[in-house]
Amino acid sequence: MADRPTAVSDFSAAMTGGQTFQLAGRPARYTVLFFYPKDNTPGCTTENIAFRDLHAQFQAAGTEIYGISRDSLRSHEGFKTKLGLPFELISDPDETLCLLFDVMKMKQMYGKTVRGIERSTFVIDAQGQIVKEWRGVKVAGHVDEVLEFVAHQA
């Protein structure tokens, strides 16, 4: 990431709970957007559970969490219920947000090259600036690192 924060264009998107996410005017000090490849897969389940388990600490740090994938709202609702997620999931079936955040990549899966979401996390401040990003995320320890970042900001 560059030394200076990067502005994100305002956007809205459908999310679980029959709600619409709107970036502009978020009341939280920070918004965490984490992009993951697919509901109900092992790594994505582990990542969502890690964010779930630390949700209270993120809220104490003035931070709201939102997961994003290309899955449908129906899939997201089932995944959210199954895992007991206390945060909403944003559906991006047409890849609008994936392209905005440049997370669509060619990757190897079971010996084949496929186009998919590169697991990535972004911390956005109340002014709509990306203040930290992680790309090519490995799930183990990642959520702790994100929490440490937001908890130690001035």
Q: Could you give the residue numbers annotated as active site? A: 44
Measure the CA–CA gap between 78 and 1, rounded to whole angstroms.
34
Burial class (CB in 10 A: 0-12, 13-18, 19+), 19: exposed
Please state, as a whole number, how many other Cβ atoms lie within 10 Å of the Cβ of residue 114.
11
